Structure 1
Amino acid sequence: MTTLLIDDEVPARTIVRQYLADFPQINIVGECADGLSAVEAIRQHQPDLLFLDIQMPGLTGFEVLARLERIPRVIFSTAYDHYALSAFEAGAVDYLLKPYDRARFRQAVERVLAYATAPDVALQRLLQRLEETKKPPSAAVTPTYPARLFVPHGTRLVAVPVQDIRWVEAAGDYATLHTRAGQQYLSNLGISQLAQRLDPQKFVRIHRSVLVALDAVRELERDGSGGFYATLEGGRTVRVSRGHADVLRPLLG
């Protein structure tokens, strides 16, 4: 596992470096003293884990995460306790309140290592929260929809532009996103949850296990029982069940 130490205080980075000596499986690939250099270092090294301060020159720790397309696991390390709720809402694995001792540090790191082999609860929580933190302020009566979805990819989250999603297929409790370029991403969210997050003017449920982008539909063929077969951009054919056929009325002349 690789990590970056991001803190504007040299003694704070020194403490983390010393405590990490107890964990030879974690390799420090760099250190940063401000938010802007942190963003560049994260993009360059693609670490699995960040030890991240919150109040720093240039950008705060939260602003650093907001600029990333792939977000590693994060342990926040700060002298301020009032950021704790925001940190966990942003998907933090742990929150170290300075000054902390070696035992408390070990607890945080062992939690990260446990997540490396256990179901990825931290990433799932971050996935559910991240679009909410990125949405612009709006009136309560006017729903907004994210321009991109974050899906797990190894130990990171990858941003998938919603405009690139052509159709979504249920995969048990999860869902597979199929993109314009033919890529597939497994989302931690189920198809019903995704149907609520995506703009219903652009995405429609055509089957209990299929959600499609309306502008991806290239051809419709009646199946003789009240439903359709829809041919999508790229040649994929999916069935529109009779119970969901009405959602395609905007496409029918």
Structure 2
Amino acid sequence: MSISKITCVIVDDEPMALNLVENYVQKTPFLELKNKCNSAIEALSFIQENPVDLLFLDIQMPDLTGIEFSKMLPKNTRVIFTTAFDQYALESFKVEALDYLLKPFDYAEFLSAANKANNWFSLTKRNEQQTKQTNEKEFLFVKSEYKQLRIKLADVLYFEGLKDYIKIWLKNNPKPILTLKSLKALEEELPSTDFMRVHRSFIVSLKNIEVIERSQIVINNQRITVSEQYKPQFLAYIQNNSFNT
């Protein structure tokens, strides 16, 4: 799966290197060159006004090195380093570069690195689309007593796992709906913004939490313990949604 063209900028203080990579970019159908810059300072000024997907970035440059510059980039801008020095490979790994091209490199090596970038952006885009589709989900169909029941997610208080079965506890419904499904499989179908697994046997509706007391959640007078395995994720959610004075 390929996305629309990957926008890119070339950054190198050597004119011959700039021209070579420009030639390689123009040969590559899924790359779109937006600019070529002879310093990181110039590139920084450009991408602040013109965000791009990818930088082909030299490392040893005056004023600001490629490694230093890469730490200033927006989260979604990725880097492929192009350098004549192999001692920076570890540092490039630490800044999560997509690849490391050692000069002199030919088009086959360049294309291999560009394909890594294409695969990375394609996978990221696909994951974003899947997450968006999941988070926009408003209901589930569940099989119970030979029927397919349409369950509105807004009505769900929590899911309780019982081996191969799940109890679905709903608002204004004293009896749960019982369906044959694993809690793990269900977790993958639920919007992560609205539901969270807090225990081996429980997934809760975050919007319906009434009280949090020590390591317990209260929903509809039911106390559900947050187990140690899931506590870090739950505490992070609480922290991100707390009003601090």
Question: TM-score by structure 2 length?
Answer: 0.53
- Aligned pairs for 1:213-232 within 5 A: 220=211, 227-229=217-219
> Quick one: which of 96, 104, 122 aligns to 2:109?
104
* Greater gyration radius: 2
Q: Which of 54, 58, 61 is the equivalent residue of 1:56?
A: 61
Contact kept? 1:206, 1:240, Cα under 8 Å: no
Gaps of 5+ in 2: 1-5, 130-183, 236-245
Taking the aligned partners of 1:82 and 1:174, their CA distance within structure 2 comes to: 45
Matched residue pairs, number? 164
Paired position in structure 2 for 1:172: 188
What displacement does 1:116 show?
3.2
Aligned CA-pair RMSD: 4.3
Residue of 73, 82, 95 corresponding to 1:68: 73
In 2: Cα distance, 1:108 partner to 1:221 partner: 49
Partners of 1:71 and 1:60 lie apart in 2 by 20
Once the two structures are TM-superposed, the CA of residue 175 in structure 1 deviates from its matched residue by: 8.9
Runs of 4+ in 1 over 4 A off after TM superposition: 173-178, 205-210
Write out aligned runs for 1:121-136 (5 A).
Answer: none
Conserved in 2, the CA contact under 8 Å of 1:4 and 1:28?
yes
Q: Secondary structure at the match of 2:75?
A: coil
* Residue number in structure 2 paired with 1:47: 52
Shift of 1:16: 0.2
Asked whether the 8 Å contact 1:65–1:71 carries over to 2, the reply is no
TM-score of the aligned structures, taking structure 1 as reference length: 0.51
Unaligned runs of 5+ in 1: 124-151, 155-169, 179-190, 193-204, 213-217, 231-238, 249-253
Aligned partners of 1:16, 1:90: CA distance in 2, in Å? 22
Residue 242 of structure 1 pairs with residue 233 of structure 2 = no
CA contact (8 A) 1:74 1:93 kept: yes
Residue 221 of structure 1 contacts residue 229 of structure 1 at CA under 8 Å; is this kept in 2?
no
How many Å separate the matches in 2 of 1:39 and 1:174?
40
| Cα shift at 1:55 | 1.4
Distance 1:243-1:92 versus aligned 2 partners, 3 A rule: closer
The residue type equivalent to 1:172 in the other structure is E
Cα 1:243–1:21 change in 2 (3 A) is closer
**Offset of 1:14 from its aligned partner?**
0.4
Q: Does residue 85 in structure 1 map to residue 90 in structure 2?
A: yes
CA distance in 1, matches of 2:58, 2:16: 13
Kindly tell me: are residues 243 and 10 of structure 1, through their superposed partners in 2, closer, same or farther at Cα, counting changes over 3 Å?
closer
